[in-house]
């Protein structure tokens, strides 16, 4: 079978895509979003001999915190030509009288089970986690519906490295296969990398892009890390998995302590953090359920054993909305496959690739590479002022001088002329909700690090018997807002010890985005005053910032906004301005 992350050879772009190029500068059509159907269904039955106890130890990012009501997998992609089975053509000698018959792809779960290498452990800790999973089939159904987009790729990478396929189940424990999952420790993505470890394993993180959420890059980094841990702990996968959760230093310290005391040094005898003692059993419990779902009264629908996405070259920075229009997919679906890009466009400094559903990939790369600069980026006008330079304007609009020169046909020595309007990347494009939240979460810790702790102060620990409704009542938050902030459904079950983000002070605008506007007043505003500005028709963030003589980035931070958020007439914005008098 061809590798699922290949860049496909393109046929000439379709006539419809070429016609779209001419329309991009004018009126762009809105494609109908493809219909969605769950990739996996889980049919509950009465689990034989399964208790209903609930484990009390959270994982590094609790599954429920990543479980979203609107994250359902797209319909299965069509088979790709020139690939080996599954999806190949069943025919010994095709002829005009005998049509070719497409063989349907196999079941990914079958191949997953066949690659299990870890020993099934009979332990009470595994049974506790097993009971919880078996008694929440709806939760499992939502997890597998998201996993259908990513699992084939992850398994392919594990196979290439000859690593146990149980490791493909780690994102169930880490993030519930929610690529936008974000933990209280600022871990992000399917594999829940914290910023430092992500950087250590080559995951770029900047204003445009967070490689910890990049499906391809983070999978490479996670498997590199797991392999290194496996080697460090002399081939013991359970110790490697434990170290992935709590750090190799903690595990090595526990091993050394047991060695000095003459005790066994396997995972089950080590004194490790509570979270880690539950983390490894969660994975082993999920392994057992996947191996024999019928034993626990569960039935998994098939996940097609074929690539879901293909990687296409973009040839440089490009507006995500432009790609969605040409590919004929919704922006939500495009961001779901490319969650690392949390702005309106890709990163001007790369990577210059995107993932798209494989059935939409043919011809797309060639089409993207033929776009002009004006077609690649939706642009706005900026009037050059005294003191402006290409570099300062590029920095103001979070782009590069090279991109700005390209958009305006400027040579390498050309300088902007005062009073002349330049084309700049337009950020006034609404982002999907998850991407907007990711942008806000990235902005706030960087800009206000050390000035407040609202992201941590707004975390609540679930107590036994808690429900979302009870926590919402206790914190003065609407239950639907609480569910939305935590990517959950209102009726989702909670675990004792689970961490939830709640709106600080009961305000629906705080919570995930970091608290009230007053919390974000910069240190230099002592002696200043607070201004509430009512947005008028035609206003932009830049025009308001110029009027109030503040920075756009400060205005975004004070109002817990991402750069892609659209303004509405009548909207109230808070700003902190210097006293004039």
The secondary structure of 160-201 as a DSSP string is HHT--GGGGGHHHHHHTT-TT-B-TT--BTTTTB-HHHHHHT
Q: Provide the pLDDT for residue 528.
A: 45
CB count within 10 Å of CB 510 equals 24
Which helix (DSSP H) or strand (DSSP E) does residue 353 occupy? strand 353-357
Phi/psi of residue 532, nearest 5 degrees: -105, 120
437 phi-psi bin (left φ>0, alpha ψ -120 to 50, beta other): alpha
**Cα 282 from chain centroid (whole Å):** 22
**What is the Cβ-side half-sphere exposure of residue 306, based on CA atoms within 13 angstroms?**
24
Contact 217, 230 (CB under 8 A): no
pLDDT tens-digit profile, the chain (581 residues): 333 332 233 333 344 444 544 444 333 333 333 333 333 344 444 333 333 333 333 334 434 434 533 333 333 333 333 333 343 333 344 444 555 666 678 999 999 999 999 999 999 999 999 999 999 999 999 999 999 999 999 999 999 999 999 999 999 999 999 999 998 788 999 999 999 999 999 999 988 899 999 999 999 999 999 999 999 999 999 999 999 999 999 999 999 999 999 999 999 999 999 999 999 999 999 999 999 999 999 999 999 999 999 999 999 999 999 999 999 999 999 999 999 999 899 998 899 999 999 999 999 999 999 999 889 988 888 899 999 999 999 888 878 898 888 878 888 889 999 888 898 887 667 788 889 888 877 766 443 332 333 333 345 667 878 888 888 777 766 676 677 666 676 777 887 767 676 654 433 322 222 333 333 333 333 344 567 778 877 777 777 877 777 777 777 777 767 666 778 888 888 776 654 33
Residue 209 forms beta bridges with which residues?
341
Cα–Cα dist 403/400, whole Å: 5
β-pair type (309-313, 459-461): unpaired
Provide the annotated active-site residues.
174
Q: Provide the pLDDT for residue 102.
A: 61
pTM for the structure as a whole: 0.63
Instruction: Extract the runs of DSSP E, i.e. beta strands, from 211-322.
Output: 309-313
Residue 501 forms beta bridges with which residues?
459
Residue 575 forms beta bridges with which residues?
531
Report the residue count for the chain: 581
Cα–Cα dist 379/553, whole Å: 19
Q: CB within 8 A of 347, min separation 6: which ones?
A: 204, 206, 208, 209, 317, 341
Cα–Cα dist 386/390, whole Å: 12
37 phi-psi bin (left φ>0, alpha ψ -120 to 50, beta other): beta
Q: CB within 8 A of 81, min separation 6: which ones?
A: none
Q: Which domains does the chain have, with CATH numbers?
A: 107-296 (1.10.530.10), 379-425 (3.10.350.10), 448-515 (3.10.350.10), 518-577 (3.10.350.10)
Cα–Cα dist 326/511, whole Å: 36
CB count within 10 Å of CB 454 equals 20
Residue 354 forms beta bridges with which residues?
312
Residue 525, burial from CB neighbour count under 10 angstroms (0-12, 13-18, 19+): middle
Contact 563, 513 (CB under 8 A): no
Cα–Cα dist 382/394, whole Å: 11
């Amino acid at each position: 079978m061809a590798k699922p992350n290949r860049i496909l050879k393109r046929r000439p772009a379709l006539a419809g895509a070429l016609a779209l190029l001419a329309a991009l500068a004018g009126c762009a059509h809105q494609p109908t979003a493809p219909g969605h159907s769950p990739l996996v269904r889980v049919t509950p039955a009465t689990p034989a001999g399964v208790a209903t106890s609930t484990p009390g130890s959270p994982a590094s990012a609790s599954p429920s915190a990543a479980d979203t009501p609107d994250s359902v997998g797209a319909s299965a992609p069509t088979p790709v030509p020139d690939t080996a089975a599954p999806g190949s053509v069943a025919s010994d000698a095709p002829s005009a009288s005998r049509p070719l018959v497409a063989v349907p792809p196999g079941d990914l779960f079958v191949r997953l089970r066949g690659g299990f290498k870890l020993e099934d452990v009979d332990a009470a800790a595994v049974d506790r986690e097993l009971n919880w999973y078996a008694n929440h089939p709806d939760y499992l159904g939502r997890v597998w519906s998201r996993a259908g987009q990513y699992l084939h790729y992850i398994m392919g990478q594990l196979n290439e490295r000859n690593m146990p396929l149980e490791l493909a189940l780690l994102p169930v424990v880490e993030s519930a296969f929610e690529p936008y999952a974000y933990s209280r420790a600022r871990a992000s993505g399917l594999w829940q990398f914290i910023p430092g470890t992500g950087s250590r394993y080559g995951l770029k993180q900047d204003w445009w892009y967070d490689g910890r959420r990049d499906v391809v890059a983070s999978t490479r980094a996670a498997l590199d890390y797991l392999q290194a841990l496996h080697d460090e702990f002399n081939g013991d996968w359970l110790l490697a998995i434990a170290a992935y959760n709590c750090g190799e230093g903690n595990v090595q310290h526990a091993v050394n302590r047991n060695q000095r005391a003459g005790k066994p040094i396997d995972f089950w005898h080590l004194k490790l953090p509570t979270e880690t003692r539950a983390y490894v059993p969660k994975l082993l419990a999920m392994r057992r359920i996947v191996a024999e779902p019928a034993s626990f009264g569960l039935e998994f629908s098939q996940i097609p054993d074929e690539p879901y996405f293909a990687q296409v070259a973009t040839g440089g920075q490009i507006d995500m909305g432009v790609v969605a229009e040409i590919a004929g997919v919704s922006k939500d679906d495009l961001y779901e496959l490319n969650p690392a890009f949390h702005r309106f466009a890709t990163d001007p400094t790369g990577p210059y690739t995107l993932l798209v559903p494989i059935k939409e990939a043919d011809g797309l790369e060639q089409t993207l590479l033929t776009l002009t600069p004006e077609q690649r980026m939706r642009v706005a006008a900026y009037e050059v002022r005294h003191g402006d330079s290409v570099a300062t304007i590029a920095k103001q609009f979070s782009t590069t001088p090279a991109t700005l020169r390209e958009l305006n046909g400027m040579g390498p020595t050309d300088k902007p002329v005062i009073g002349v309007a330049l084309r700049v990347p337009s950020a006034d494009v609404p982002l999907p909700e998850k991407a907007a939240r990711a942008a806000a979460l990235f902005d706030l810790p960087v800009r206000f690090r050390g000035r407040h702790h609202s992201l941590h102060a707004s975390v609540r620990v679930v107590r036994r018997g808690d429900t979302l409704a009870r926590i919402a009542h206790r914190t003065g938050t609407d239950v639907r807002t609480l569910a939305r902030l935590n990517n959950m459904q209102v009726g989702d079950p909670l675990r004792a010890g689970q961490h939830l983000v709640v709106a600080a002070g009961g305000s629906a605008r705080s919570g995930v985005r970091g608290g009230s506007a007053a919390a974000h007043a910069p240190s230099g505003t002592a002696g200043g005053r607070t201004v509430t500005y009512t947005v008028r028709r035609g206003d932009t963030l830049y025009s308001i910032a110029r009027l109030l003589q503040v920075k756009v980035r400060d205005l975004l931070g004070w109002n817990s906004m991402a750069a892609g958020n659209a303004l509405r007439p009548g909207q109230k914005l808070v700003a902190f301005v210097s006293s004039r008098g």
